[in-house]
Amino acid sequence: MRHAVTVRRRSAPPPSLSRYWNGYVGHCAGSVARFRRITYALPAGPARTWLGEIAQRLDVELDAVRRLAIVGDSIEPAWFRFRVREEPAKRIAQRLDAARTAFADAVSQAAEVAEQVALDPAHSDVRANLEVLSRQASQLALAPAPPDPEPEPQRRRRRGRRGS
């Protein structure tokens, strides 16, 4: 007698990224983890609830960072270099750099909110900071890439004649 075996299919594991691209994802994931630790350090209340909702948006943005890093890695994997050379990869790196900064700014803002809540839970600045943080969180990784710097003029090579 045979028994039916049910095998669950998992989605494909995320591709392994080169060190360069994985660095961006790691920095952003670390910021999200710090944001969540700050959120859970707050007493139950409106500030903690609001920060929890923002943390969920950060998770969505972190997924966008991962997707961008996968695309960047597919264009130009950088296993042993600390920069990329291809223009499309440079644009993605600029976006990810901006996202990394925005994630770090979100952590800083959350820390400020937590500090204010710890000192004075009814403080009116808490709400203002939460509103700013909420707006920032929805615009992290999906913000347009910063403009490319002006290209440097290329030097023309002179071809010298060799004496015959």
pTM: 0.69
The structural domain count of the chain equals 1
CA distance 72 to 76: 6
pLDDT score at 107: 96
Take residue 24 and report the two structure tokens written for it.
Answer: 């961006």
pLDDT score at 129: 66
Give me the domain span that covers residue 66: 22-137
CA distance 21 to 73: 6
User: Is 34 contained in some domain?
Assistant: yes
User: Is 143 contained in some domain?
Assistant: no
User: Is 76 contained in some domain?
Assistant: yes
Say how many C-beta atoms besides its own lie within 10 A of residue 93's C-beta: 22
User: Is 86 contained in some domain?
Assistant: yes
User: Is 156 contained in some domain?
Assistant: no
User: Is 54 contained in some domain?
Assistant: yes
Q: What is the pLDDT along the chain (164 residues), one digit of tens a residue?
A: 555 545 444 444 456 888 899 999 999 999 999 999 999 999 888 889 999 999 999 999 999 999 999 999 999 888 666 788 888 999 999 999 999 999 999 999 999 989 988 888 666 566 666 676 767 766 665 555 545 555 444 555 555 555 54
User: Is 57 contained in some domain?
Assistant: yes
User: Is 108 contained in some domain?
Assistant: yes
